[in-house]
Structure 1
């Protein structure tokens, strides 16, 4: 195969922009035909990449074409994904010059027409004031030509997975604009891709670059905005991922035990989760579930600092345990809430004596309701829930030993048959 053959294959493998908004039956049929053809083209590309000695520019182009199929997208099939993986295996350790070529010629041209208003495009540093004035953000949203390239996210993510830590200084101005473009988009699916990019970035980037360029604060502000997106079908995934990324960012860019770290973690828990997510998503169980699932590592990072939020945390976590007539028990949320309660007990043992009665009341009510549910319907989640209720009582007894001879004994005296499996034998 000649150089022209390579160029022709690469052009034919460009993902059709219609994949971003395929609506009509005619369009879908045409895309399915292209999808079938792309498999044959990838097979030819794989063979050509092995036969021909590729220049750095050609290597970058081959990577860009293969990476487009390196994911679970509507334009990929199991076979095309396998072929893409095979091609990319030859580039598993790209050097700095290849990464520069890929970012410079295949990634950044997609985003240059839509420059992020808060970034200097030449340095990747945060600007003191947004470019374009008050309407700069509106212009940024109106010129989103990068959305015509459905595989743009695949390209950026692959680069983030393969850039070496020592190369970020050289590549920073090419790396950060695409990430921030995704992260600050107004559509939740793109925001979610952006947050995942941030998570990947934080695994490798030196903290000094984030702080020196001011991008740490820029990312944190954008992640906070993500935590207010509560109404989309993908909001639960966005919330959980954004909380995780915010925690990772704070731990990376602040010193352990410093007031700055404590303030950032408190803002994440108090202002974002308690003051925003829980306040405005009482009727969105998926969002609440995602926020509760995200709490354990944040609470562990805060340690004893969780004490200042017990009045908000404990009632919220006990609420799913309380039976509601004519309502199906939210088993997953109940189990998640019990897990978080156990974390709180371990992190704040000195304050549990004030809450032991409240916690046991919620646990025992849930136990009674679960037992009655088990008698009428053998739901698979009931037995798992009851094991977690028992474990929570064991954790409570460790931090409040007096509860064993106090409240536990009174439960057994009141109804031994009902509560023996919950508290009997706990020492």
Structure 2
């Protein structure tokens, strides 16, 4: 009787395909809303039932799949249903290999088998020498996309990635990689973003050797580069920022520190992707520019002195938001992000700053004057934070170029002591 009740509860907890719409708020009928209202009761019943019954491996996988479907902020979940799902999943926080295999083999992968990735061998998870289906194979990959009828598919993949043990990846690789690559290479930005986030979770525990041996490191890097060309969607800023961060993590994980391969990959990310593509084609998309600038400090830190080859592009781009423009106001957040990246460049390329010190001080001082002249406008806390970063950039520049103390900064005090005394306080 308890087994029949378990199956009944699990069937009732299946997410209606209505929630798979592009916009999660459209096409939701009153009947579906009634179903959503019942899910908390169903999850509560499930929690009580699994404590009374000894579950088989198959039943454990089905329970995890049902609960994991509610383990995220989605349109079909509520605070109560998420809390109940978390409580149920706590009993499976350390799943063994048989359970993970069962979950991936019977609950996750069947959702994606009708849309096999053309560049992956489905039996090994290795990168293929040539795409299946030839040059037109990608078009077949986008046909039907039956997996999109299952709204909680991403939730199941995320749960698996966060619970697979590092030593088990070898056995589960051919089951893990296809769903990730399906999301990552989808043509819609929201699914691409989930794919990038899946790769981010994957890199937390996956063995470096496995990525390289199967050729998946290069496959993922190519897909991440494609993500960086998606500039026109509402979720593009988040996609850009996450993709840059994950690309950096992947390169650092799969290449030898200080090697030419690592340097070339980091240079390609900064020079070709950010400077040569994002900044070139998104000059009028503030959200995308903001996301790319926010992502710069870790990349600049990883490149170190290698940043020098890009100073002619980096410094003007980062100083541009600081310059007051008539009838235009740059977001304070972008100014602060630009100053953070600028300070990192000063730290990493100290011997080249003497060539740029005048340009940098000029932009910082203009931004300072504009901030002081508009003190009665806008959020004072954000303005105070901006001025703090302006001072920090000045201090960093003074450490690597002490000559600015007696030259540029002293000249500012001569021009207007009252205006600039706080900017140069403790420096000049």
Same fold flag (TM > 0.5): yes
Q: Which residue of 2 aligns with 1:144?
A: 145
2:386 counterpart residue number = 385
1:415 alignment partner in structure 2: 416
Partner of 2:83: 82
Note closer, same or farther for the CA distance 1:120–1:369 as it changes in structure 2 (3 Å cut): same
Partner of 1:332: 333
Map of 1:237-276 to 2, 5 A cutoff? 237-276=238-277
Partner in structure 1 of residue 31 of structure 2 = 30
CA distance in 2, matches of 1:166, 1:196: 21
Are 2:14 and 2:66, in contact at CA under 8 Å, matched by a contact in 1? yes
| Alignment partner of 1:3 is 2:3 | yes
Aligned positions of 1:154-165 closer than 5 A: 154-165=155-166
What SS class does the counterpart of residue 323 from structure 1 fall into? Answer: coil
Aligned in 2, Cα 1:325/1:174: closer, same or farther, shift over 3 Å?
same
Alpha-carbon shift at residue 414 of structure 1 (Å): 1.0
Name 1:285's counterpart in structure 2: 286
1:31 CA drift (Å) = 1.7
Equivalents in 1 of 2:273, 2:14: separation in Å? 40
Structure 2 counterpart of 1:211: 212
Tell me whether 1:17 sits opposite 2:9 in the alignment: no
Structure 2 residue aligned with 1:130 = 131
Deviation at 1:27, TM superposition (A): 3.5
TM-score by length of 1: 0.98
**Relative to structure 2, which stretch is displaced further, 374-383 or 91-100?**
374-383
Partner of 1:130: helix, strand, or coil?
A: coil
- Cα-to-partner distance string for 1:179-233 (whole Å, 9 max, x where unaligned): 0000000000000000000000001000111100000000000000000000000
Within 5 Å, give how 1:47-86 maps onto structure 2.
Answer: 47-86=48-87
C-alpha distance in 2, partners of 1:102/1:423? 61
Judged with a 3 Å threshold, the aligned counterparts in structure 2 of structure 1 residues 14 and 279 are, in CA distance, closer, same or farther, namely: same
1:343-396 CA-to-partner distances (Å, cap 9, x unmatched) read 000001011011100100110010111110115566442221111111111111
Structure 1 position 254, deviation (Å): 0.2
The DSSP-based 3-state class of the residue aligned with 1:290 is helix
CA distance in 1, matches of 2:24, 2:380: 41
Contact 2:116 2:141 in 1 (8 A): yes
CA contact (8 A) 2:24 2:75 kept: no
> What CA distance in whole angstroms lies between the structure 2 residues aligned with 1:184 and 1:25?
25
In terms of mean alpha carbon deviation, does 54-63 or 412-421 score higher?
412-421
3-state secondary structure, aligned to 2:4 = helix
**How far apart in 1 are the matches of 2:210 and 2:269?**
23
RMSD: 1.3
The corresponding residue for 1:101 is 102
Aligned length, in residue pairs: 427
Structure 2, unmatched stretches of 5+, are: none
Q: What TM-score, normalized by structure 2, do the two folds share?
A: 0.98
**8 Å Cα contact 1:412-1:424 kept in structure 2:** no
After TM superposition, give the deviation of residue 134 of structure 1 in Å: 1.6
Contact kept in structure 1, 2:221 and 2:250, CA below 8 Å: yes
State the Cα distance separating 1:8 from its structure 2 match. 1.0
Secondary structure of 2:135's partner?
helix
Contiguous gaps of at least 5 residues in structure 1: none
